[in-house]
Structure 1
Amino acid sequence: MKAFLAALMFLTRIPLPQINISKNDWHKSAIYFPLVGLVIGAILYLTSWGLERLFPTTVTAFLVVLMWIWITGGLHIDGWMDLADGFGSNKSREQILEIMKDSRVGAMGVIAAICLIGGKWVAVYELLQHDRAIMLVMSPIFARFLLISAIRLFPYRQEGGIGAGLRTSLSVIIVFLNLLFILIVAYYLIGSIGILILGGTAIFSGLLAINIYKKLEMLTGDCYGALVEWSEVVALFVSLAIWRIL
Protein backbone atom coordinates (compact mmCIF):
# COMPACT_ATOMS: atom_id res chain seq x y z
CA MET A 1 0.00 0.00 0.00
CA LYS A 2 2.84 2.39 0.82
CA ALA A 3 4.42 1.71 -2.56
CA PHE A 4 1.15 2.63 -4.30
CA LEU A 5 0.82 5.79 -2.20
CA ALA A 6 4.43 6.67 -3.06
CA ALA A 7 3.54 6.38 -6.74
CA LEU A 8 0.48 8.61 -6.22
CA MET A 9 2.52 11.19 -4.32
CA PHE A 10 5.20 11.28 -7.01
CA LEU A 11 3.01 11.30 -10.13
CA THR A 12 0.04 13.39 -8.96
CA ARG A 13 -0.99 16.31 -6.78
CA ILE A 14 -3.84 14.39 -5.18
CA PRO A 15 -3.94 15.39 -1.47
CA LEU A 16 -2.73 12.47 0.61
CA PRO A 17 -1.97 12.02 4.31
CA GLN A 18 1.67 12.33 5.27
CA ILE A 19 3.25 8.89 5.58
CA ASN A 20 6.78 7.62 5.96
CA ILE A 21 7.96 6.23 2.64
CA SER A 22 11.00 3.97 2.82
CA LYS A 23 13.54 3.58 0.05
CA ASN A 24 12.17 0.12 -0.63
CA ASP A 25 8.62 1.50 -0.92
CA TRP A 26 9.86 4.08 -3.41
CA HIS A 27 11.63 1.48 -5.53
CA LYS A 28 8.47 -0.66 -5.62
CA SER A 29 6.29 2.32 -6.54
CA ALA A 30 7.08 1.90 -10.25
CA ILE A 31 5.01 -1.29 -10.23
CA TYR A 32 1.91 0.84 -9.68
CA PHE A 33 2.56 3.60 -12.22
CA PRO A 34 -0.06 2.25 -14.68
CA LEU A 35 -2.58 2.00 -11.84
CA VAL A 36 -1.90 5.65 -11.03
CA GLY A 37 -2.53 6.32 -14.71
CA LEU A 38 -5.97 4.76 -14.25
CA VAL A 39 -6.65 7.10 -11.31
CA ILE A 40 -5.58 10.13 -13.36
CA GLY A 41 -7.66 8.97 -16.32
CA ALA A 42 -10.76 8.44 -14.16
CA ILE A 43 -10.43 11.97 -12.79
CA LEU A 44 -10.09 13.41 -16.30
CA TYR A 45 -13.10 11.45 -17.54
CA LEU A 46 -15.30 12.56 -14.64
CA THR A 47 -14.09 16.14 -15.11
CA SER A 48 -15.09 16.09 -18.79
CA TRP A 49 -18.45 14.51 -17.93
CA GLY A 50 -19.25 17.28 -15.45
CA LEU A 51 -17.96 20.18 -17.52
CA GLU A 52 -19.85 19.15 -20.66
CA ARG A 53 -23.04 19.96 -18.79
CA LEU A 54 -21.86 23.51 -18.18
CA PHE A 55 -19.74 24.57 -21.14
CA PRO A 56 -19.45 24.10 -24.90
CA THR A 57 -17.04 21.40 -26.09
CA THR A 58 -14.21 23.82 -26.91
CA VAL A 59 -14.16 25.21 -23.37
CA THR A 60 -14.61 21.76 -21.83
CA ALA A 61 -11.61 20.40 -23.76
CA PHE A 62 -9.48 23.34 -22.64
CA LEU A 63 -10.46 22.93 -18.98
CA VAL A 64 -9.82 19.17 -19.15
CA VAL A 65 -6.29 19.84 -20.40
CA LEU A 66 -5.79 22.33 -17.56
CA MET A 67 -6.92 19.66 -15.11
CA TRP A 68 -4.50 17.24 -16.78
CA ILE A 69 -1.65 19.65 -16.15
CA TRP A 70 -2.72 20.38 -12.59
CA ILE A 71 -3.27 16.78 -11.51
CA THR A 72 0.30 15.88 -12.56
CA GLY A 73 1.80 19.13 -11.30
CA GLY A 74 3.37 19.78 -14.70
CA LEU A 75 6.00 17.21 -13.72
CA HIS A 76 6.26 15.58 -17.12
CA ILE A 77 5.88 18.79 -19.14
CA ASP A 78 9.06 20.06 -17.49
CA GLY A 79 10.90 17.00 -18.79
CA TRP A 80 9.36 17.48 -22.24
CA MET A 81 10.61 21.08 -22.38
CA ASP A 82 14.08 20.17 -21.11
CA LEU A 83 14.37 17.43 -23.73
CA ALA A 84 13.28 19.84 -26.46
CA ASP A 85 15.84 22.40 -25.36
CA GLY A 86 18.61 19.80 -25.27
CA PHE A 87 17.89 18.11 -28.58
CA GLY A 88 16.90 21.36 -30.26
CA SER A 89 20.34 22.76 -29.53
CA ASN A 90 21.97 20.28 -31.93
CA LYS A 91 24.97 20.05 -29.58
CA SER A 92 27.14 17.16 -28.45
CA ARG A 93 25.94 14.54 -25.97
CA GLU A 94 27.65 16.22 -23.01
CA GLN A 95 26.31 19.65 -23.92
CA ILE A 96 22.78 18.29 -24.36
CA LEU A 97 22.89 16.79 -20.86
CA GLU A 98 24.11 20.11 -19.44
CA ILE A 99 21.31 22.00 -21.19
CA MET A 100 18.73 19.55 -19.88
CA LYS A 101 20.01 20.05 -16.32
CA ASP A 102 19.62 23.83 -16.62
CA SER A 103 16.51 25.03 -14.79
CA ARG A 104 15.98 27.80 -17.33
CA VAL A 105 13.66 27.16 -20.28
CA GLY A 106 14.77 28.02 -23.81
CA ALA A 107 12.83 28.87 -26.94
CA MET A 108 12.63 25.26 -28.12
CA GLY A 109 11.20 24.19 -24.78
CA VAL A 110 8.48 26.85 -24.93
CA ILE A 111 7.60 25.93 -28.51
CA ALA A 112 7.47 22.23 -27.62
CA ALA A 113 5.17 22.92 -24.65
CA ILE A 114 2.81 25.02 -26.78
CA CYS A 115 2.63 22.30 -29.43
CA LEU A 116 2.06 19.61 -26.80
CA ILE A 117 -0.71 21.44 -24.95
CA GLY A 118 -2.30 22.58 -28.21
CA GLY A 119 -2.20 19.02 -29.52
CA LYS A 120 -3.89 17.68 -26.40
CA TRP A 121 -6.55 20.38 -26.56
CA VAL A 122 -7.41 19.62 -30.19
CA ALA A 123 -7.40 15.85 -29.63
CA VAL A 124 -9.57 16.06 -26.51
CA TYR A 125 -12.01 18.33 -28.36
CA GLU A 126 -12.33 15.82 -31.23
CA LEU A 127 -12.79 12.91 -28.83
CA LEU A 128 -15.52 14.75 -26.92
CA GLN A 129 -17.21 15.72 -30.16
CA HIS A 130 -17.48 12.05 -31.15
CA ASP A 131 -18.45 10.76 -27.68
CA ARG A 132 -15.11 9.03 -27.17
CA ALA A 133 -14.06 10.66 -23.93
CA ILE A 134 -13.17 7.19 -22.65
CA MET A 135 -9.73 7.73 -24.22
CA LEU A 136 -9.12 10.19 -21.40
CA VAL A 137 -8.99 7.10 -19.18
CA MET A 138 -6.82 5.02 -21.49
CA SER A 139 -4.21 7.61 -22.51
CA PRO A 140 -2.62 8.07 -19.03
CA ILE A 141 -2.64 4.30 -18.46
CA PHE A 142 -0.91 3.55 -21.77
CA ALA A 143 1.67 6.30 -21.18
CA ARG A 144 2.67 5.05 -17.75
CA PHE A 145 2.89 1.47 -18.92
CA LEU A 146 5.24 2.58 -21.69
CA LEU A 147 7.17 4.53 -19.05
CA ILE A 148 7.85 1.44 -16.93
CA SER A 149 8.71 -0.48 -20.11
CA ALA A 150 11.32 2.17 -20.95
CA ILE A 151 12.68 2.09 -17.39
CA ARG A 152 13.06 -1.67 -17.73
CA LEU A 153 14.57 -1.70 -21.23
CA PHE A 154 16.94 1.30 -21.27
CA PRO A 155 19.79 2.13 -18.88
CA TYR A 156 19.45 5.08 -16.54
CA ARG A 157 21.99 7.91 -16.45
CA GLN A 158 23.80 6.64 -13.36
CA GLU A 159 23.94 3.52 -11.24
CA GLY A 160 22.25 3.94 -7.90
CA GLY A 161 20.17 6.89 -9.10
CA ILE A 162 16.42 7.22 -8.78
CA GLY A 163 15.77 5.53 -12.11
CA ALA A 164 18.09 2.64 -11.30
CA GLY A 165 16.22 2.09 -8.05
CA LEU A 166 12.90 1.97 -9.82
CA ARG A 167 14.28 -0.48 -12.33
CA THR A 168 15.08 -3.06 -9.63
CA SER A 169 11.37 -3.69 -9.00
CA LEU A 170 10.41 -3.97 -12.67
CA SER A 171 11.08 -7.58 -13.53
CA VAL A 172 9.86 -9.00 -16.84
CA ILE A 173 7.01 -10.70 -14.99
CA ILE A 174 5.91 -7.43 -13.35
CA VAL A 175 5.91 -5.61 -16.69
CA PHE A 176 3.96 -8.48 -18.27
CA LEU A 177 1.38 -8.43 -15.45
CA ASN A 178 0.95 -4.70 -15.96
CA LEU A 179 0.45 -5.30 -19.67
CA LEU A 180 -2.18 -7.92 -18.89
CA PHE A 181 -3.92 -5.49 -16.54
CA ILE A 182 -3.95 -2.79 -19.20
CA LEU A 183 -5.27 -5.09 -21.91
CA ILE A 184 -8.12 -6.20 -19.65
CA VAL A 185 -9.05 -2.60 -18.82
CA ALA A 186 -8.74 -1.55 -22.48
CA TYR A 187 -10.88 -4.43 -23.70
CA TYR A 188 -13.53 -3.72 -21.09
CA LEU A 189 -13.68 0.01 -21.85
CA ILE A 190 -13.12 0.25 -25.62
CA GLY A 191 -13.02 -3.32 -26.92
CA SER A 192 -10.39 -4.94 -29.13
CA ILE A 193 -9.57 -1.58 -30.73
CA GLY A 194 -7.69 -0.82 -27.52
CA ILE A 195 -5.00 -3.32 -28.52
CA LEU A 196 -4.49 -1.47 -31.82
CA ILE A 197 -4.28 1.88 -30.05
CA LEU A 198 -1.76 0.56 -27.52
CA GLY A 199 0.29 -1.03 -30.30
CA GLY A 200 0.33 2.15 -32.39
CA THR A 201 1.24 4.27 -29.37
CA ALA A 202 4.02 1.84 -28.41
CA ILE A 203 5.57 2.13 -31.88
CA PHE A 204 5.81 5.93 -31.78
CA SER A 205 6.90 5.99 -28.15
CA GLY A 206 9.52 3.34 -28.86
CA LEU A 207 10.89 5.44 -31.71
CA LEU A 208 11.30 8.40 -29.36
CA ALA A 209 13.00 6.30 -26.68
CA ILE A 210 15.35 4.70 -29.22
CA ASN A 211 16.33 8.08 -30.70
CA ILE A 212 17.04 9.44 -27.23
CA TYR A 213 19.15 6.39 -26.42
CA LYS A 214 21.11 6.69 -29.66
CA LYS A 215 21.99 10.28 -28.83
CA LEU A 216 22.54 10.03 -25.06
CA GLU A 217 23.30 6.30 -24.62
CA MET A 218 20.91 6.36 -21.65
CA LEU A 219 17.67 7.86 -20.38
CA THR A 220 17.30 10.51 -17.68
CA GLY A 221 14.44 11.67 -15.49
CA ASP A 222 13.64 14.37 -18.04
CA CYS A 223 13.50 11.71 -20.74
CA TYR A 224 11.01 9.73 -18.66
CA GLY A 225 8.79 12.78 -18.28
CA ALA A 226 9.01 13.59 -21.98
CA LEU A 227 8.13 9.99 -22.85
CA VAL A 228 4.98 10.18 -20.71
CA GLU A 229 3.80 13.42 -22.33
CA TRP A 230 4.61 12.14 -25.83
CA SER A 231 2.84 8.83 -25.21
CA GLU A 232 -0.27 10.53 -23.85
CA VAL A 233 -0.76 12.82 -26.81
CA VAL A 234 0.22 10.11 -29.31
CA ALA A 235 -2.38 7.75 -27.79
CA LEU A 236 -5.06 10.38 -28.36
CA PHE A 237 -4.03 10.97 -31.98
CA VAL A 238 -3.62 7.26 -32.74
CA SER A 239 -7.10 6.56 -31.37
CA LEU A 240 -8.60 9.30 -33.55
CA ALA A 241 -6.82 7.93 -36.64
CA ILE A 242 -7.84 4.32 -36.00
CA TRP A 243 -11.48 5.20 -35.31
CA ARG A 244 -11.55 7.31 -38.47
CA ILE A 245 -10.10 4.48 -40.59
CA LEU A 246 -12.43 1.86 -39.14
Structure 2
Amino acid sequence: MSKFGENIFMLIVGIVAIFSLLREIKNNKRFLGILTFLTRIPIKVNVGFDEDFHKGLIYFPSVGFILGVLYFIITYISVKVFGYYIGTVIFLISQCILTGGLHLDGVGDTFDGIYSYRDKDRILEIMKDSRLGTNALLAILFLVLLKLGFVFSIISKNVYYPLVLAPVFGRLAIVFACYKNKSPRENGMGNVFINKVTESQIASVIASTLGITLFTLLLNLIFGFVDILHGSVIGYNTLFVIILFILVRIYTEYISNIIGGITGDILGCICELSELLYLIFIYMGVYKW
Protein backbone atom coordinates (compact mmCIF):
# COMPACT_ATOMS: atom_id res chain seq x y z
CA MET A 1 0.00 0.00 0.00
CA SER A 2 1.30 3.46 -0.90
CA LYS A 3 1.95 6.15 1.67
CA PHE A 4 -0.64 8.26 -0.10
CA GLY A 5 -3.31 5.63 0.59
CA GLU A 6 -2.25 5.33 4.22
CA ASN A 7 -2.45 9.08 4.71
CA ILE A 8 -5.87 9.23 3.05
CA PHE A 9 -7.10 6.48 5.40
CA MET A 10 -5.86 8.36 8.45
CA LEU A 11 -7.46 11.57 7.21
CA ILE A 12 -10.85 9.96 6.52
CA VAL A 13 -11.07 8.25 9.90
CA GLY A 14 -10.04 11.44 11.66
CA ILE A 15 -12.59 13.55 9.80
CA VAL A 16 -15.39 11.07 10.46
CA ALA A 17 -14.62 11.03 14.18
CA ILE A 18 -14.38 14.80 14.41
CA PHE A 19 -17.67 15.37 12.61
CA SER A 20 -19.32 12.69 14.71
CA LEU A 21 -18.08 14.40 17.85
CA LEU A 22 -19.21 17.85 16.71
CA ARG A 23 -22.65 16.56 15.81
CA GLU A 24 -23.07 14.94 19.20
CA ILE A 25 -21.84 18.06 21.00
CA LYS A 26 -24.31 20.18 19.11
CA ASN A 27 -27.35 17.94 19.49
CA ASN A 28 -26.80 15.82 22.58
CA LYS A 29 -25.60 17.21 25.89
CA ARG A 30 -25.84 13.79 27.49
CA PHE A 31 -23.25 12.47 25.07
CA LEU A 32 -21.04 15.41 25.93
CA GLY A 33 -21.50 14.67 29.62
CA ILE A 34 -20.41 11.06 29.08
CA LEU A 35 -17.47 12.21 26.98
CA THR A 36 -16.21 14.55 29.70
CA PHE A 37 -16.91 11.93 32.37
CA LEU A 38 -14.82 9.22 30.70
CA THR A 39 -12.07 11.34 29.16
CA ARG A 40 -9.98 14.44 29.68
CA ILE A 41 -10.69 15.83 26.23
CA PRO A 42 -10.99 19.60 26.85
CA ILE A 43 -14.53 20.62 25.90
CA LYS A 44 -15.83 23.66 27.76
CA VAL A 45 -19.60 23.39 27.57
CA ASN A 46 -22.04 23.57 30.47
CA VAL A 47 -24.09 20.38 30.23
CA GLY A 48 -26.15 21.15 33.33
CA PHE A 49 -27.70 18.60 35.67
CA ASP A 50 -29.12 15.43 34.13
CA GLU A 51 -31.10 13.20 36.47
CA ASP A 52 -31.12 10.49 33.78
CA PHE A 53 -27.37 10.65 33.24
CA HIS A 54 -27.14 6.85 33.55
CA LYS A 55 -28.99 6.53 30.23
CA GLY A 56 -25.84 7.88 28.59
CA LEU A 57 -24.37 4.38 28.94
CA ILE A 58 -25.43 3.77 25.35
CA TYR A 59 -22.72 6.25 24.27
CA PHE A 60 -19.85 4.41 25.93
CA PRO A 61 -18.74 2.59 22.74
CA SER A 62 -18.90 5.87 20.77
CA VAL A 63 -16.65 7.57 23.32
CA GLY A 64 -14.32 4.60 23.02
CA PHE A 65 -14.30 5.09 19.24
CA ILE A 66 -13.32 8.74 19.55
CA LEU A 67 -10.50 7.79 21.91
CA GLY A 68 -9.46 5.02 19.55
CA VAL A 69 -9.27 7.32 16.56
CA LEU A 70 -7.12 9.75 18.55
CA TYR A 71 -4.88 6.88 19.67
CA PHE A 72 -4.56 5.74 16.06
CA ILE A 73 -3.63 9.17 14.72
CA ILE A 74 -1.14 9.85 17.52
CA THR A 75 0.44 6.40 17.21
CA TYR A 76 0.55 6.38 13.42
CA ILE A 77 2.32 9.73 13.27
CA SER A 78 4.68 8.72 16.10
CA VAL A 79 5.61 5.50 14.30
CA LYS A 80 6.41 7.40 11.11
CA VAL A 81 8.61 9.83 13.04
CA PHE A 82 10.21 7.65 15.74
CA GLY A 83 9.63 4.01 14.75
CA TYR A 84 7.42 1.26 16.14
CA TYR A 85 8.80 0.95 19.65
CA ILE A 86 8.70 4.65 20.54
CA GLY A 87 5.35 4.90 18.75
CA THR A 88 4.00 2.21 21.06
CA VAL A 89 5.30 4.03 24.13
CA ILE A 90 3.66 7.24 22.95
CA PHE A 91 0.42 5.29 22.45
CA LEU A 92 0.51 4.25 26.11
CA ILE A 93 1.24 7.81 27.19
CA SER A 94 -1.65 9.12 25.09
CA GLN A 95 -3.97 6.66 26.83
CA CYS A 96 -3.01 8.05 30.22
CA ILE A 97 -3.33 11.66 29.09
CA LEU A 98 -6.67 11.33 27.28
CA THR A 99 -8.34 9.35 30.08
CA GLY A 100 -6.52 10.95 33.01
CA GLY A 101 -5.41 7.49 34.12
CA LEU A 102 -8.99 6.97 35.36
CA HIS A 103 -9.17 3.26 34.62
CA LEU A 104 -5.57 2.52 35.60
CA ASP A 105 -6.45 3.88 39.02
CA GLY A 106 -9.26 1.35 39.10
CA VAL A 107 -6.80 -1.45 38.30
CA GLY A 108 -4.57 -0.42 41.18
CA ASP A 109 -7.38 -0.08 43.72
CA THR A 110 -8.96 -3.36 42.63
CA PHE A 111 -5.78 -5.39 42.97
CA ASP A 112 -4.84 -3.71 46.24
CA GLY A 113 -8.25 -4.47 47.73
CA ILE A 114 -9.59 -7.68 46.23
CA TYR A 115 -6.27 -9.50 46.36
CA SER A 116 -5.43 -8.44 49.91
CA TYR A 117 -7.65 -11.37 50.96
CA ARG A 118 -9.20 -9.45 53.85
CA ASP A 119 -12.84 -9.27 54.93
CA LYS A 120 -15.37 -7.27 52.89
CA ASP A 121 -15.25 -4.06 54.97
CA ARG A 122 -11.45 -3.99 55.03
CA ILE A 123 -11.27 -4.59 51.27
CA LEU A 124 -13.63 -1.68 50.58
CA GLU A 125 -11.57 0.50 52.92
CA ILE A 126 -8.35 -0.43 51.12
CA MET A 127 -9.94 0.33 47.74
CA LYS A 128 -10.85 3.85 48.92
CA ASP A 129 -7.31 4.49 50.13
CA SER A 130 -5.47 6.76 47.68
CA ARG A 131 -2.11 5.24 48.54
CA LEU A 132 -0.52 2.80 46.08
CA GLY A 133 0.18 -0.67 47.44
CA THR A 134 2.46 -3.40 46.14
CA ASN A 135 -0.38 -5.27 44.43
CA ALA A 136 -1.47 -2.09 42.66
CA LEU A 137 2.05 -1.28 41.51
CA LEU A 138 2.64 -4.77 40.14
CA ALA A 139 -0.77 -4.98 38.46
CA ILE A 140 -0.34 -1.66 36.66
CA LEU A 141 3.25 -2.49 35.73
CA PHE A 142 2.34 -5.88 34.25
CA LEU A 143 -0.67 -4.42 32.44
CA VAL A 144 1.42 -1.69 30.82
CA LEU A 145 4.18 -4.13 29.88
CA LEU A 146 1.71 -6.54 28.28
CA LYS A 147 0.05 -3.72 26.35
CA LEU A 148 3.45 -2.52 25.23
CA GLY A 149 4.37 -5.96 23.93
CA PHE A 150 1.13 -6.77 22.15
CA VAL A 151 0.62 -3.31 20.62
CA PHE A 152 4.21 -3.28 19.36
CA SER A 153 3.78 -6.76 17.86
CA ILE A 154 0.52 -5.77 16.16
CA ILE A 155 1.45 -2.40 14.69
CA SER A 156 4.82 -3.70 13.50
CA LYS A 157 2.73 -5.79 11.07
CA ASN A 158 1.19 -2.54 9.78
CA VAL A 159 -2.08 -3.36 11.56
CA TYR A 160 -3.63 -0.41 13.37
CA TYR A 161 -7.34 -1.14 13.72
CA PRO A 162 -6.97 -2.77 17.20
CA LEU A 163 -5.87 0.62 18.53
CA VAL A 164 -9.23 2.03 17.42
CA LEU A 165 -11.36 -0.89 18.61
CA ALA A 166 -9.69 -1.80 21.92
CA PRO A 167 -11.13 1.24 23.77
CA VAL A 168 -14.53 0.55 22.17
CA PHE A 169 -14.61 -2.96 23.60
CA GLY A 170 -13.22 -1.68 26.90
CA ARG A 171 -16.19 0.69 27.33
CA LEU A 172 -18.60 -1.99 26.13
CA ALA A 173 -17.28 -4.18 28.96
CA ILE A 174 -18.21 -1.47 31.48
CA VAL A 175 -21.82 -1.60 30.29
CA PHE A 176 -21.81 -5.40 30.51
CA ALA A 177 -20.47 -5.17 34.07
CA CYS A 178 -23.17 -2.71 35.14
CA TYR A 179 -25.93 -5.01 33.93
CA LYS A 180 -27.77 -6.76 36.79
CA ASN A 181 -25.08 -6.02 39.34
CA LYS A 182 -25.23 -3.94 42.49
CA SER A 183 -22.88 -1.74 44.46
CA PRO A 184 -21.66 -2.69 47.96
CA ARG A 185 -21.55 1.01 48.87
CA GLU A 186 -24.36 3.50 49.33
CA ASN A 187 -22.32 6.20 47.59
CA GLY A 188 -19.73 5.95 44.86
CA MET A 189 -18.89 7.14 41.37
CA GLY A 190 -19.92 3.84 39.86
CA ASN A 191 -23.35 3.93 41.49
CA VAL A 192 -24.54 6.26 38.75
CA PHE A 193 -24.44 3.36 36.29
CA ILE A 194 -24.34 0.09 38.26
CA ASN A 195 -27.60 -1.86 38.02
CA LYS A 196 -29.09 0.86 35.81
CA VAL A 197 -28.66 -0.99 32.49
CA THR A 198 -31.68 -2.41 30.68
CA GLU A 199 -31.87 -5.17 28.08
CA SER A 200 -32.63 -2.60 25.38
CA GLN A 201 -29.50 -0.65 26.32
CA ILE A 202 -27.44 -3.84 26.13
CA ALA A 203 -28.81 -4.43 22.64
CA SER A 204 -28.09 -0.81 21.71
CA VAL A 205 -24.44 -0.84 22.83
CA ILE A 206 -23.83 -4.19 21.12
CA ALA A 207 -25.34 -2.83 17.89
CA SER A 208 -23.27 0.37 18.04
CA THR A 209 -20.11 -1.62 18.83
CA LEU A 210 -20.66 -3.93 15.88
CA GLY A 211 -21.40 -0.95 13.64
CA ILE A 212 -18.21 0.81 14.72
CA THR A 213 -16.26 -2.44 14.26
CA LEU A 214 -17.62 -3.04 10.76
CA PHE A 215 -16.97 0.56 9.73
CA THR A 216 -13.38 0.49 11.03
CA LEU A 217 -12.54 -2.89 9.50
CA LEU A 218 -14.03 -2.02 6.12
CA LEU A 219 -11.95 1.15 5.94
CA ASN A 220 -8.90 -0.91 6.86
CA LEU A 221 -9.66 -3.39 4.09
CA ILE A 222 -10.31 -0.66 1.53
CA PHE A 223 -7.04 1.11 2.23
CA GLY A 224 -4.95 -2.02 2.66
CA PHE A 225 -4.08 -1.97 6.35
CA VAL A 226 -5.57 -5.47 6.73
CA ASP A 227 -4.59 -8.24 4.33
CA ILE A 228 -7.62 -9.34 2.32
CA LEU A 229 -6.82 -12.91 3.43
CA HIS A 230 -7.71 -11.76 6.91
CA GLY A 231 -11.23 -10.77 5.96
CA SER A 232 -12.35 -13.20 8.66
CA VAL A 233 -11.40 -10.54 11.21
CA ILE A 234 -14.97 -9.21 10.94
CA GLY A 235 -16.38 -12.49 12.22
CA TYR A 236 -13.57 -12.78 14.73
CA ASN A 237 -14.32 -9.37 16.21
CA THR A 238 -18.01 -10.22 16.37
CA LEU A 239 -17.18 -13.40 18.27
CA PHE A 240 -15.24 -11.33 20.78
CA VAL A 241 -18.43 -9.52 21.84
CA ILE A 242 -19.90 -12.84 23.01
CA ILE A 243 -16.69 -13.92 24.72
CA LEU A 244 -16.38 -10.54 26.42
CA PHE A 245 -19.91 -10.68 27.80
CA ILE A 246 -19.34 -14.14 29.27
CA LEU A 247 -15.99 -13.27 30.83
CA VAL A 248 -17.25 -9.99 32.30
CA ARG A 249 -20.24 -11.76 33.87
CA ILE A 250 -17.97 -14.43 35.35
CA TYR A 251 -15.55 -11.85 36.76
CA THR A 252 -18.27 -9.62 38.26
CA GLU A 253 -19.86 -12.67 39.87
CA TYR A 254 -16.49 -13.55 41.35
CA ILE A 255 -16.04 -10.01 42.72
CA SER A 256 -19.61 -9.88 44.03
CA ASN A 257 -19.03 -13.07 46.03
CA ILE A 258 -16.14 -11.30 47.76
CA ILE A 259 -17.48 -7.80 48.48
CA GLY A 260 -21.18 -8.09 47.71
CA GLY A 261 -21.18 -6.15 44.45
CA ILE A 262 -18.99 -4.06 42.17
CA THR A 263 -17.63 -0.52 42.46
CA GLY A 264 -16.41 2.21 40.12
CA ASP A 265 -12.87 0.94 40.63
CA ILE A 266 -13.96 -2.51 39.49
CA LEU A 267 -15.50 -0.97 36.35
CA GLY A 268 -12.24 0.82 35.55
CA CYS A 269 -10.27 -2.38 36.09
CA ILE A 270 -12.63 -4.33 33.83
CA CYS A 271 -12.21 -1.69 31.11
CA GLU A 272 -8.42 -1.96 31.18
CA LEU A 273 -8.37 -5.76 31.36
CA SER A 274 -10.85 -5.98 28.48
CA GLU A 275 -8.68 -3.76 26.30
CA LEU A 276 -5.69 -6.01 27.02
CA LEU A 277 -7.77 -9.13 26.44
CA TYR A 278 -8.87 -7.78 23.07
CA LEU A 279 -5.28 -7.12 22.00
CA ILE A 280 -4.27 -10.65 23.04
CA PHE A 281 -7.31 -12.15 21.33
CA ILE A 282 -6.65 -10.39 18.04
CA TYR A 283 -2.91 -11.06 18.08
CA MET A 284 -3.19 -14.75 18.93
CA GLY A 285 -6.27 -15.52 16.85
CA VAL A 286 -5.63 -13.60 13.65
CA TYR A 287 -1.95 -12.71 13.38
CA LYS A 288 -0.21 -15.53 15.21
CA TRP A 289 -2.00 -18.79 14.56
Q: Please state which band the TM-score falls in when normalised by the shorter chain.
A: over 0.9
CA contact (8 A) 1:40 1:140 kept: yes
CA contact (8 A) 2:107 2:269 kept: yes
Aligned to 2:40: 13
The offset of 1:161, in angstroms, is 5.2
Aligned to 1:53: 80
CA distance in 2, matches of 1:23, 1:161: 17
CA contact (8 A) 2:107 2:266 kept: yes
Aligned to 2:243: 200
Task: Look up the equivalent residue of 1:3 and give its one-letter code.
Answer: R
CA contact (8 A) 2:188 2:264 kept: no
- Of the candidates 226, 246, 265, which is equivalent to residue 222 of structure 1? 265
CA distance in 2, matches of 1:91, 1:8: 35
CA distance in 1, matches of 2:190, 2:104: 18
Q: Unpaired runs of 5+ in structure 1?
A: none
CA distance in 1, matches of 2:66, 2:192: 24
CA contact (8 A) 2:75 2:91 kept: yes
- SS of equivalent residue, structure 1 residue 54: helix
Aligned residue runs from structure 1 range 17-32, under 5 A = 17-24=44-51, 26-32=53-59
CA distance in 1, matches of 2:139, 2:250: 18
The offset of 1:244, in angstroms, is 3.7
Please state if 1:242 is matched with 2:285.
yes
Please state if 1:210 is matched with 2:237.
no
Cα 1:180–1:117, aligned 2, differ >3 Å: closer, same or farther?
A: same
Aligned to 1:92: 119
The offset of 1:182, in angstroms, is 1.0
Deviations 1:81-100 (A, max 9, x none): 00110122111111111110
TM-score (norm 1): 0.92
- SS of equivalent residue, structure 2 residue 270: helix
Q: Percent same amino acid among aligned pairs? A: 27
Aligned to 1:156: 183
CA contact (8 A) 2:108 2:137 kept: yes
The offset of 1:25, in angstroms, is 5.3
The offset of 1:169, in angstroms, is 5.6
- Of the candidates 108, 113, 119, which is equivalent to residue 146 of structure 2? 119
CA distance in 1, matches of 2:247, 2:169: 12
Q: Unpaired runs of 5+ in structure 2?
A: 1-27, 218-233
- SS of equivalent residue, structure 1 residue 13: coil
Task: Look up the equivalent residue of 2:213 and give its one-letter code.
Answer: A
Aligned to 2:105: 78
CA contact (8 A) 2:154 2:283 kept: yes
Please state if 1:4 is matched with 2:47.
no
Aligned to 1:69: 96
CA contact (8 A) 1:29 1:166 kept: no
- SS of equivalent residue, structure 1 residue 153: coil
CA distance in 2, matches of 1:160, 1:23: 18
Please state if 1:36 is matched with 2:79.
no
The offset of 1:178, in angstroms, is 1.2
- SS of equivalent residue, structure 2 residue 81: coil
Please state if 1:141 is matched with 2:184.
no
CA distance in 2, matches of 1:86, 1:38: 31
- Of the candidates 84, 109, 116, which is equivalent to residue 136 of structure 2? 109
The offset of 1:18, in angstroms, is 3.3
The offset of 1:49, in angstroms, is 1.5
The offset of 1:160, in angstroms, is 6.9
CA contact (8 A) 1:2 1:25 kept: no
**Greater C-alpha Rg:** 2
Deviations 1:42-86 (A, max 9, x none): 111111221121011111111101101111000011111001101
Aligned to 1:232: 275
CA contact (8 A) 2:183 2:261 kept: yes
